[in-house]
């Protein structure tokens, strides 16, 4: 619980800093949302925090994942998007295992089996799961499933391939 509250505080602090909350004028005119609607940003932040808390996994931002890859860290990276999206470009070393965009409850037995096959036998392996973008639930479903299967070092990269591309990092095809 303490870890989740710390995570929530960190997310909300980051949002406040990015929004330029140091002046009252900024609070009235500039938000982190393109349309200035902080309610949407707050809802997205809460959805992410709640998913992490419920799923029991950790988060890794694109920049940190890039560092792990550049350092040659041993890990299993899983892209949970459909194969045609995966084929257009994915994070280096990523394997493909489609998960439902809604929730783990909607995963078919075939989807679960294909995902599980990518994980390997080492329950302590570093596992990173991602999908298309922050609002996509595929990475949540995958990360939560890995935790449910007993894997202990599971991360979700919430920005997905869109954040990876926005950072202008190299992709594999």
Residue pair 20/26 in contact (Cβ under 8 Å)? The answer is yes
- Identify whether 172 is part of a domain: no
Q: Do 63 and 50 share a structural domain? A: no
Q: Do 31 and 70 share a structural domain? A: no
Residue 53 CB contacts under 8 Å (≥ 6 apart), including other chains? 4, 7
Q: Do 144 and 86 share a structural domain? A: yes
Q: Do 80 and 33 share a structural domain? A: no
Q: Do 98 and 22 share a structural domain? A: no
Confidence band, pLDDT 50/70/90 cuts, at residue 59: very high
Of the two residues 19 and 48, the one the predictor is more confident about is: 48
Question: What is the per-residue pLDDT across 102-159, written as a single tens digit (0 to 9) for each?
Answer: 888 899 999 999 999 999 999 999 999 999 988 888 999 999 999 999 999 999 999 9
- Which CATH number belongs to the domain containing residue 62 in this structure? 3.40.250.10
Write down the pLDDT at residue 133.
87
pTM: 0.79
Range of the domain at 161: 58-166
Residue pair 142/97 in contact (Cβ under 8 Å)? The answer is yes
**Could you tell me if residue 93 is left (phi over 0), alpha (psi between -120 and 50 degrees) or otherwise beta?**
left
């Amino acid at each position: 619980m303490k870890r989740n509250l710390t995570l929530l505080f960190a997310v909300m602090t980051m949002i406040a800093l990015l929004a330029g909350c140091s002046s009252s004028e900024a609070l009235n005119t500039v938000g982190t949302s393109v349309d200035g609607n902080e309610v949407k940003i707050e809802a997205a932040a809460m959805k992410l925090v709640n998913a992490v808390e419920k799923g029991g996994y950790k988060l890794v931002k694109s920049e940190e994942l890039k560092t792990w890859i550049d350092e040659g860290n041993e890990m299993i990276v899983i892209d949970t998007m459909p194969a045609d999206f995966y084929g257009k470009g994915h994070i280096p070393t990523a394997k493909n295992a489609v998960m439902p965009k809604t929730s783990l409850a909607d995963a078919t037995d075939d989807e679960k089996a294909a995902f599980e096959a990518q994980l390997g036998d080492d329950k302590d392996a570093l596992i990173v799961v991602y999908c298309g973008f922050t609002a996509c639930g595929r990475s949540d479903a995958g990360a939560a499933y890995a935790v449910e299967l007993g894997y202990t070092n599971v991360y979700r990269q919430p920005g997905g391939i869109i954040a990876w591309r926005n950072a202008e990092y190299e992709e594999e095809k």
